[in-house]
């Protein structure tokens, strides 16, 4: 493959999943008609080779899949329905045609699951690392706003799924390489790192309730994201260490290490949120019906803006430090 | 500056230019309400250090400005009104805080001109080159489609402004460096390369006419973009060499060189289009009123799909080759 045009032709979708897409790839820009009574939700996230992944932590297919999953997770945290995405990719000559096609195959499989159309992009050369940047577009009903700033005194703080698995998976990949061999526990963690599942269904259930929710996805670690909620809402959050769902991690590794991964690891793509006690009682059976695991991990309390972590023996301030990609 | 959060805080807009923006930077994704009876127009373009610019061809301010201008030019080619943009930037430690702020200052000044809001982004580290990827969002009335595929037999082929200046400017910058000294002509070309003006007004005038237009922006060179129109519309385009507006280029440099820059140089961000003779007569006075230069450079004719260039002495096929960023 020597030509940008040939490659674009190869990755241009042959089918249209969204009926309101008017012009997809092939013109200066894409055109779509927004759904009546819905607002548009847009986000962008970038993965850089050597920073966010290496060839020995993710396969090409997984790089593509994860680049889209990160963005779908942001849409989930807004309660949005995914619709479209655009992909900008800067490629060095260390990557061959088959690998590039696999990157797009990984994106396409996840896009298929969520009925998303690839509607635009840019393919350019890079001197060294592969850089992949995905823009995702979704829609929410115009009265829906699941914002970080919505936490209020007295709220239940809840978490979907388990946290720390992605960081544990990365640790194992760094130790053993991409081909393992892995124990059964390790396989779970490695898959959580390589092929995270965004919590779209959970976000939509909360959006459909039409109640006040604060919501955030766990991309930078539980500690960091809980602090984001606290700061945006100007509240104090108290997390109960014993309630943080470490499950398989707690048994397989040292508890301190498990807690460190859960609090500071990041890339779990679960949702942390808060709502009133009364609303939380409505959420639990709805999540149970869909097999979505949800845990009450804390409360919004009196006190200065920030996050505290409490256990049997101590109560301490939980700092924001976590997955900070920048300048490290 | 050591922290992603601090930097994001610094570049987060303190004002809102679009009234229908609901949630800007600061949550998992942005939310806006689309304008009634309008469609959404979305595009993304990426600039890579060492490929699309170097510190000795663009200042930091100009890098930011141009990264947004490229995208506004794509919106222009769809007849859209710019609304929002998102910026993903991968930064190596070769770039300091002041330079990064200048990149955002350049974007902000152009955004101010077009009333665009910065509504999201991602800031990550890169190992070596700076990579900046901008997603732009605009709106058009739902009956407007200025597509590449709309050229028809008998159409006038027209061009806004002049072409070749950006390539001439890059040539001069490569020869003399960013500080010159430049002749008066060279100053014009260098500025055309460093601070291109997207043709938003021209696109909107065409959109408001409600007529059939084929339209494309000249980002990859006149030859390449004329071929895009011909292929998308499945027509034959005949360009008249003597009509291509080379102006100051033709006088200052060898005519063959001037024509080469015009046809294959790229990054001029003018618009090439086609419409019926009758509609073109309506376009001319409207463009004149707004001081937009427009030239009839060819016709859509009988013949095989592609582009031909004619002059006094010859008539030859004009190949697509031009600015192909990929794998070169």
A197 with A292, same domain: the answer is: yes
Please report the DSSP string for A25-41 in residue order.
BTBSSEEEPPPTTEEEE
Q: What is the pLDDT of residue A327?
A: 32
Tell me what the pLDDT averaged over chain B comes to.
Answer: 92
Q: Which tens digits make up the pLDDT trace of B201-231?
A: 999 999 999 999 999 999 889 999 999 999 9
> Residue B322: pLDDT band by 50, 70, 90 thresholds?
low
A206 with A306, same domain: the answer is: yes
Lowest mean pLDDT, pick from A9-18, A319-328, B164-173, B175-184: A319-328
Indicate which of A2, A40, A68, A141 best probes the interface with B, i.e. most B CBs within 10 Å of its own CB.
A40
Option in B88, B145, B149 nearest A46 (CB): B88
Greater confidence (A38 vs B324) lies with A38
Lowest mean pLDDT, pick from B3-7, B73-77, B87-91, B176-180: B3-7
Q: Which two tokens stand for residue B182?
A: 């430049």
Q: Which residue of chain A comes nearest to B214, CA vs CA? A: A27
Residue B300 CB contacts under 8 Å (≥ 6 apart), including other chains: B151, B152, B153, B154, B155, B157, B233, B235, B236, B237, B238, B274
Alpha-carbon distance A223 to nearest alpha carbon in chain B (angstroms) = 14
Indicate which of A8, A18, A31 best probes the interface with B, i.e. most B CBs within 10 Å of its own CB.
A31
Query: Of the residues A88, A118, A141, which one is the last residue of a structural domain?
Result: A141
Is the residue at B327 inside a domain?
A: no
DSSP 3-state of B233 = helix
Q: Which residue of chain B comes nearest to A140, CA vs CA? A: B31
B25 touches chain A (CB under 8 A): no
Closest CA to A215 of B25, B21, B27: B27
Alpha-carbon distance B211 to nearest alpha carbon in chain A (angstroms) = 18
pLDDT for residue A324 is more than 60: no
Is residue A219 marked as binding? yes
Residues of B within 8 A of A31 (CB-CB) are 39-41, 78, 140, 145
Option in B30, B42, B133 nearest A133 (CB): B133
Q: What are phi and psi of A257, to 5 degrees?
A: -65, -45
Residues of B within 8 A of A137 (CB-CB) are 42
pLDDT for residue B2 is more than 70: no
Indicate which of B1, B5, B27, B30 best probes the interface with A, i.e. most A CBs within 10 Å of its own CB.
B27
Option in B77, B86, B217 nearest A44 (CB): B86
Residues of B within 8 A of A328 (CB-CB) are 125
> Residue B144: pLDDT band by 50, 70, 90 thresholds?
confident
Is residue A148 marked as binding? yes
B19 touches chain A (CB under 8 A): no
ipTM: 0.93
Is the residue at B63 inside a domain?
A: yes
Q: Which domain holds residue B193?
A: 148-317
- The answer to whether the CB atoms of B39 and A34 lie below 8 A apart is yes
The pLDDT of B105-134, averaged and rounded, is 94
Alpha-carbon distance A69 to nearest alpha carbon in chain B (angstroms) = 13
Q: Which two tokens stand for residue A245?
A: 């769902």
Do B4 and A327 form a contact (C-beta atoms < 8 A)?
yes
C-alpha distances (whole Å) from B99 to each of B25, B111, B128, B223 are 21, 18, 16, 35
B325 touches chain A (CB under 8 A): yes
> Residue A2: pLDDT band by 50, 70, 90 thresholds?
low
A197 with A289, same domain: the answer is: yes
Option in A31, A129, A131 nearest B140 (CB): A31
A31 with A116, same domain: the answer is: yes
Residues of A within 8 A of B136 (CB-CB) are 29
Is the residue at A327 inside a domain?
A: no
- The answer to whether the CB atoms of A327 and B91 lie below 8 A apart is yes
Query: Of the residues A86, A115, A141, which one is the last residue of a structural domain?
Result: A141
Scanning the structure block, which residue is given the tokens 């809840």?
A: A158
Which CATH number is A287's domain given?
A: 3.90.650.10
pLDDT for residue B292 is more than 60: yes
Q: Which residue of chain A comes nearest to B120, CA vs CA? A: A43
Residues of B within 8 A of A232 (CB-CB) are 26-27
B111 with B152, same domain: the answer is: no
> Residue B327: pLDDT band by 50, 70, 90 thresholds?
very low
pLDDT for residue B255 is more than 50: yes
Residue A287 CB contacts under 8 Å (≥ 6 apart), including other chains: A160, A202, A205, A293, A294
Closest CA to B213 of B203, B222, B223: B203
Q: What are phi and psi of B266, to 5 degrees?
A: 85, 175
Q: What is the pLDDT of residue B3?
A: 67
Is the residue at A134 inside a domain?
A: yes
B128 touches chain A (CB under 8 A): yes
Q: Which tens digits make up the pLDDT trace of A232-281?
A: 999 999 999 999 988 777 777 788 888 889 999 889 999 999 999 999 99
Query: Of the residues B92, B115, B141, which one is the last residue of a structural domain?
Result: B141
For residue A290, the cross-strand partners are none
Greater confidence (A75 vs A256) lies with A75
Any alpha helices (H) in chain B, and if so which ranges? 4-11, 60-76, 97-113, 165-176, 184-194, 200-209, 222-233, 248-252, 255-264, 277-289
A157 with A88, same domain: the answer is: no
Which CATH number is A73's domain given?
A: 3.30.1330.10
Do A118 and A82 form a contact (C-beta atoms < 8 A)?
no
Q: What are phi and psi of A310, to 5 degrees?
A: -115, 145
**Angstrom distance (rounded) from CA A161 to CA A294:** 6
Q: What are phi and psi of B86, to 5 degrees?
A: -125, 145
A292 with A172, same domain: the answer is: yes
Is the residue at A322 inside a domain?
A: no
B158 with B137, same domain: the answer is: no
B158 with B129, same domain: the answer is: no
Is the residue at A63 inside a domain?
A: yes
Greater confidence (A67 vs B313) lies with A67
The total number of structural domains in chain B stands at 2
Q: Which residue of chain B comes nearest to A6, CA vs CA? A: B326
A163 with A299, same domain: the answer is: yes
B264 touches chain A (CB under 8 A): no
Q: What are phi and psi of B247, to 5 degrees?
A: 40, -115
Option in B1, B4, B28 nearest A217 (CB): B28
- The answer to whether the CB atoms of B127 and A34 lie below 8 A apart is no
* Packed helices A222-233 and A255-264: angle between N→C axes, nearest 10 degrees: 50
B109 with B162, same domain: the answer is: no
Q: What is the pLDDT of residue A322?
A: 54
- The answer to whether the CB atoms of A3 and B46 lie below 8 A apart is no
pLDDT for residue B250 is more than 80: no
Is the residue at A244 inside a domain?
A: yes
Q: Which residue of chain B comes nearest to A144, CA vs CA? A: B31
**Exposed e or buried b per residue across A190-215, where buried means at least 16 C-beta atoms within 10 angstroms of its C-beta:** bbbbbbbbbbbebbbbbbebebbbbb
Is the residue at A196 inside a domain?
A: yes
**Angstrom distance (rounded) from CA A110 to CA A116:** 8
**Angstrom distance (rounded) from CA B109 to CA A287:** 47
Ordered strands of the A81-91 beta sheet:
A117-125, A81-91, A131-141, A38-48, B30-32, B21-23
> Residue A210: pLDDT band by 50, 70, 90 thresholds?
very high
The angle at the Cα of A272, spanning A269 to A278, to the nearest 5 degrees, equals 145
Q: Which tens digits make up the pLDDT trace of A150-197?
A: 999 999 999 999 999 999 999 999 999 999 899 999 999 999 999 999
Q: Which tens digits make up the pLDDT trace of B46-101?
A: 999 998 999 999 999 999 999 999 999 999 999 999 999 999 999 988 999 999 99
Tell me what the pLDDT averaged over chain A comes to.
Answer: 92
Is residue A121 marked as binding? yes
Ordered strands of the B81-91 beta sheet:
A21-23, A30-32, B38-48, B131-141, B81-91, B117-125
A229 with A307, same domain: the answer is: yes
Binding annotation of B for Mg(2+):
28, 45, 74, 122, 217, 220
**Angstrom distance (rounded) from CA A299 to CA A67:** 33
> Residue A220: pLDDT band by 50, 70, 90 thresholds?
confident
Residue A246 CB contacts under 8 Å (≥ 6 apart), including other chains: A162, A163, A164, A255, A258, A259, A262
- The answer to whether the CB atoms of B86 and A5 lie below 8 A apart is no
């Amino acid at each position: 493959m020597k030509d940008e045009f040939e490659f674009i032709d190869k990755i241009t979708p042959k089918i249209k999943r969204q009926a309101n897409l008017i012009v997809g790839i092939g013109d200066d820009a894409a055109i779509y008609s927004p759904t009546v009574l819905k607002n548009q939700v847009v986000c962008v996230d970038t993965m850089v080779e050597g920073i966010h992944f290496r060839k020995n932590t993710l396969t090409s297919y997984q790089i593509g899949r994860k680049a889209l999953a990160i963005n779908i997770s942001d849409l989930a945290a807004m309660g949005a329905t995914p619709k479209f995405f655009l992909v900008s990719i800067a490629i060095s000559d260390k990557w061959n045609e088959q690998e590039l096609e696999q990157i797009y195959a990984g994106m396409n499989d996840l896009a298929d699951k969520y009925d998303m159309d690839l509607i635009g992009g840019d393919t350019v050369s890079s001197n060294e690392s592969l850089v992949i940047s995905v823009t995702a577009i979704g829609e929410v009903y115009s009265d829906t706003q699941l914002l970080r700033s919505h936490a209020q005194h007295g709220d239940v703080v809840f978490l979907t799924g388990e946290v720390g698995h992605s960081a544990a998976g990365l640790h194992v990949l760094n130790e053993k390489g991409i081909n393992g061999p892995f124990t059964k526990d390790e396989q779970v963690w490695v898959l959580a790192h390589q092929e995270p599942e965004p919590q779209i269904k959970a976000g939509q259930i909360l959006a459909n309730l039409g109640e006040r929710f604060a919501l955030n996805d766990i991309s930078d670690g539980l500690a960091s994201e809980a602090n984001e909620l606290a700061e945006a809402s100007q509240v104090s959050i108290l997390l109960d260490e014993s309630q943080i769902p470490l499950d398989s991690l707690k048994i397989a590794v040292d508890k301190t290490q498990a807690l460190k991964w859960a609090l500071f690891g990041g890339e779990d793509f679960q949702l942390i949120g808060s709502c009133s006690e009364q609303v939380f009682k409505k959420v639990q059976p709805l999540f149970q019906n869909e097999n979505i695991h949800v845990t009450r991990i804390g409360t919004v309390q009196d006190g200065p803006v920030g996050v505290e972590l409490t256990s049997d023996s101590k109560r301490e301030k939980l700092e924001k430090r976590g997955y900070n990609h920048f300048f490290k």
